[in-house]
Chain A
Amino acid sequence: MKQYRSDYLDHLESEAIHIFREVAGQFEKPALLFSGGKDSITLVHLALKAFRPGKFPFPLVHIDTGHNFPEALAFRDNLANSIGEKLIVRKVEDTIREKRLTEPVGKFASRNALQTYTLLDTIEEFGFDACIGGARRDEEKARAKERIFSVRDEFGQWNPKLQRPELWNTYNGRIHKGENVRVFPISNWTELDIWNYIRRENIQLPSIYFSHEREVLEHEGQLVAYSSFIRLDPGDKIVTRTVRYRTVGDMTCTAAVESKADSVEDIISEIIATKTSERGETRIDDKVSEAAMEDRKKNGYF
């Protein structure tokens, strides 16, 4: 008999496509939450594989904090344009104004937590019953325990003690009115898997993932992009460094790493050699408390 072999990336890819199609088959009004980062760009690539030559059965939705990297926003618009899919953008700024929310203050005032309000409003506005996201279980301990189909109540809250058992490759997406499901097709991928897949599939990324010169503020060992969103204090020195980003979130809560890696190949070599995790190295918001992510997820965060 003929020998068939499947590489681990083939398994992961097929699993993700299967999950995408389950969303299409089980829900009335899904959405793909798109951030402009490599994980959500990979999701778009997988969705193309799942649904072409048809259209996506969902729009791309971006919750714009107003603190995004301009390169990521330009990339987002180009991508949506080139694949001819619908892009919905909702701004945290508008939520702050309309709902009179309090803007966080401080050196690296982050709108990360306020995003949740805009997200929940957007879900309500369009009646989304499923939101597909690019979270991975290797990112963080709370994520490691979340289901691929994660049911949220009408406040978007995740209850880790009341999760549905998820067996085989069978996904139960039945919900009551008002609830929604967060779906994570690349749950089982690691950072390195993503990069290996990006290399294999030749997926294009925003330029900030590759080595470039940037004005940064060095703060407690992390390099934060100089922008109008951060507060400079006496003694702060802005320096120019050769950096790249490992993750792309808000300019206020994502740190750069010093690197000369200007190709996917070089980035993969650096990741293999690195001694620090993706979140640990680049996320300013996770350092606050051991359980920061667990708390945010319980409150409706992705």
Chain B
Amino acid sequence: MDLLRFITAGSVDDGKSTLIGRLLYDSKSILIDQLEAIEKQSKNREEGEIDLALLTDGLRAEREQGITIDVAYKYFSTPKRKFIIADAPGHIQYTRNMVTGASNSDLAIILIDARNGVVEQTRRHSIIASLLSIPHVVIAVNKMDLVDYSQDVYNNIVIDYAKVARATGLKDVKYIPISALQGDNIVERSTNISWYEGGSLLDILENTEVQKDLNYKDARFPVQYVIRPQTDDLHDYRGYAGKIISGVYRVGDPVVALPSGLKTRISGIEINGKRVEEAHVPQSVTLLLEDDIDISRGDIIVKDEALPKTEQELEALVCWMDAKPLVPGNKYLLQLNSRVVRAVVKNIEYKLNVNTLEKDYSPGRAELNDVFRAVIKTASPISFDRYDELRENGGAILIDETSNVTVGACMIQ
């Protein structure tokens, strides 16, 4: 049994919450007391049937306003897989939430209302999915019941969307006609849509291969913490604790610590205090090195076959997440895995319209939910990869040092 993280994206009334409610309900992940609670609420709001969308509305503040204000995480599993759903709201002002939810998703379900077809928000969600390099995308054409399960309507949307997929560079795109409300093609294949030959949405979610999305080639190990017991019997023990974010490490491998460039070999690998010969992504391990070189939190231990770039200047696509605008010249902290360095956003090259992909080359400053390309200079060197090549070592955050808030998400180019 493995794990799939996915995000659902859709416009306000595309039925996203209903879809998640349906997945949870039909996969029997909803239990009686939770159903009773939503039955009670459905009655409170004077609606006839159980409103499955209520299963995903978290906070009372949201229920009162009938909106979703933040990313919520939901869980269900089948005998094949455990699923983690990041439920991000679809309103325009919440681009930052979708970026957050998308950042560690393996797959995105983008909902399209069959009656409306591809709309501005569909493009935006697709562009964000592409910016965040989500490996797999499922286009779920929802509310098929409201267009009489028409194959023509569906086919036209598929043709329309294929243009979006091409423009945004999405690679693995699958299409499926559904009705979340009626349960068509969600868990079981629907007899109402007999012309559709693919599997149900759950089939797609269960069978999308994600193991090979992991990178076993480029070894990256950001050091989080140094374990030094300093007891009599472990006097010289120095263990570098961290998580292998990509690649494979073996005892005896020559390694380089960056940004210093100091070289040594792996003398031991420990998992749970036990010695192992090799370890791989995504394991959390402790590395022991042959030489006592100066390594601390924030350094990254790599193998010297495919080195990341180590520089003091980088270019990134940045999603701005703070109400305070970004003005070029502003200083921030940049955090990439365990490394934190001072940084200045030198200039904004262009702002990207996330609805049309148009570039605005005279943007001035960047506001909340803007996506822009910028040159960032750092006070000390940082070792990074291109985000679209190695997501795990190419995504960084910007932190406002005065408020301590995370204000930007950087996809390093």
| Chain A positions near chain B (C-beta within 8 angstroms) | 1, 4-8, 10-15, 17-18, 21-22, 24-25, 48-55, 57, 137-138, 141-142, 144-145, 151, 160-161, 163-170, 172, 174-176, 187-188, 190, 192-193, 274-277, 279-281, 290-291, 294
Complex: how many Å from CA A12 to CA B187? 25
Complex: how many Å from CA A6 to CA B212? 11
Whether B406 pairs with A164 at a CB distance below 8 angstroms is yes
Residue B189 CB within 8 A of the other chain: no
Complex: how many Å from CA A184 to CA B392? 21
Also in contact, A168 and B395, with CB within 8 A (given A53-B227, A141-B58): yes
Residue of A nearest to B245 (CB): A169
Whether B2 pairs with A6 at a CB distance below 8 angstroms is yes
Residue of B nearest to A22 (CB): B224
Residues of chain A within 8 A (CB-CB) of B321 are 165
Q: Which 8 A-B pairs have the closest CB atoms?
A: A280-B33, A17-B284, A291-B60, A21-B224, A174-B404, A54-B227, A8-B3, A167-B103
Given A50-B241, A57-B225, A276-B33, output 11 extra A-B contacts at Cβ < 8 Å: A4-B280, A11-B282, A24-B225, A25-B338, A53-B273, A144-B58, A160-B69, A169-B104, A170-B336, A277-B31, A280-B33
Binds A, one of B71-79, B305-313, B354-362: B71-79
Whether A188 pairs with B228 at a CB distance below 8 angstroms is no
Choose one: B58, B216, B225; the contact of A145 (CB below 8 Å).
Answer: B58
A249 shortest CB reach to chain B, Å: 17
Residues of chain B within 8 A (CB-CB) of A138 are 74-75
Chain B interface residue number, banded: 35 or more
Choose one: A21, A137, A274, A294; the contact of B73 (CB below 8 Å).
Answer: A137
Whether B72 pairs with A176 at a CB distance below 8 angstroms is no
Whether A50 pairs with B60 at a CB distance below 8 angstroms is no
Q: Which of A54, A142, A274, A280: most chain B CB closer than 10 A?
A: A54
Whether B103 pairs with A168 at a CB distance below 8 angstroms is yes
Residue of B nearest to A189 (CB): B75
Residues of chain A within 8 A (CB-CB) of B273 are 48-49, 52-53
Residue of A nearest to B280 (CB): A4
Residue B100 CB within 8 A of the other chain: yes
25 interchain pairs (CB within 8 A)? A4-B216, A4-B248, A5-B2, A11-B3, A14-B282, A18-B243, A24-B225, A25-B338, A49-B284, A50-B241, A53-B229, A138-B74, A145-B59, A145-B71, A165-B99, A168-B104, A168-B392, A169-B245, A169-B392, A170-B337, A172-B335, A276-B32, A277-B33, A280-B34, A290-B60
Whether A161 pairs with B395 at a CB distance below 8 angstroms is no
Residue B405 CB within 8 A of the other chain: yes
Residue B242 CB within 8 A of the other chain: yes
Whether A142 pairs with B96 at a CB distance below 8 angstroms is no
Residues of chain A within 8 A (CB-CB) of B41 are 290
Whether A166 pairs with B224 at a CB distance below 8 angstroms is no
Residues of chain A within 8 A (CB-CB) of B241 are 21, 24, 50-51
Whether A8 pairs with B82 at a CB distance below 8 angstroms is yes
Complex: how many Å from CA A141 to CA B33? 13
Q: Which of B272, B335, B409: most chain A CB closer than 10 A?
A: B272
Residue B399 CB within 8 A of the other chain: yes
Residue B174 CB within 8 A of the other chain: no
Residues of chain B within 8 A (CB-CB) of A176 are 404
Residues of chain A within 8 A (CB-CB) of B32 are 275-276, 280
Choose one: A55, A166, A291; the contact of B229 (CB below 8 Å).
Answer: A55
Complex: how many Å from CA A13 to CA B3? 12
1/0 per position for B197-239, CB-CB distance to A under 8 A?
0000000000000010010100000001101110000100101
A177 shortest CB reach to chain B, Å: 11
Residues of chain A within 8 A (CB-CB) of B96 are 165
Whether B72 pairs with A170 at a CB distance below 8 angstroms is no
Choose one: A21, A161, A281, A290; the contact of B242 (CB below 8 Å).
Answer: A21
Choose one: B37, B61, B271, B335; the contact of A170 (CB below 8 Å).
Answer: B335
Whether A193 pairs with B82 at a CB distance below 8 angstroms is yes
Residue of A nearest to B30 (CB): A277
Whether A141 pairs with B59 at a CB distance below 8 angstroms is yes
Complex: how many Å from CA A176 to CA B400? 12
Residue of A nearest to B241 (CB): A21
Residues of chain A within 8 A (CB-CB) of B99 are 165, 167
Residues of chain B within 8 A (CB-CB) of A161 are 61, 69-70
Also in contact, A7 and B228, with CB within 8 A (given A1-B216, A138-B75, A277-B34): no
Residues of chain B within 8 A (CB-CB) of A274 are 31
Residue of B nearest to A24 (CB): B225
Whether A160 pairs with B224 at a CB distance below 8 angstroms is no
Residue of B nearest to A275 (CB): B32
Residue B365 CB within 8 A of the other chain: no
Whether B395 pairs with A291 at a CB distance below 8 angstroms is no
Whether B225 pairs with A144 at a CB distance below 8 angstroms is no
Residue B297 CB within 8 A of the other chain: yes
Complex: how many Å from CA A192 to CA B76? 10
Q: Which of B33, B61, B245, B335: most chain A CB closer than 10 A?
A: B33
Q: Which of A1, A48, A53: most chain B CB closer than 10 A?
A: A53
Choose one: B227, B282, B397, B404; the contact of A6 (CB below 8 Å).
Answer: B282
Complex: how many Å from CA A193 to CA B280? 22
Residues of chain B within 8 A (CB-CB) of A1 are 216
Also in contact, A167 and B60, with CB within 8 A (given A24-B224, A144-B74, A277-B34): no
Whether B103 pairs with A188 at a CB distance below 8 angstroms is no
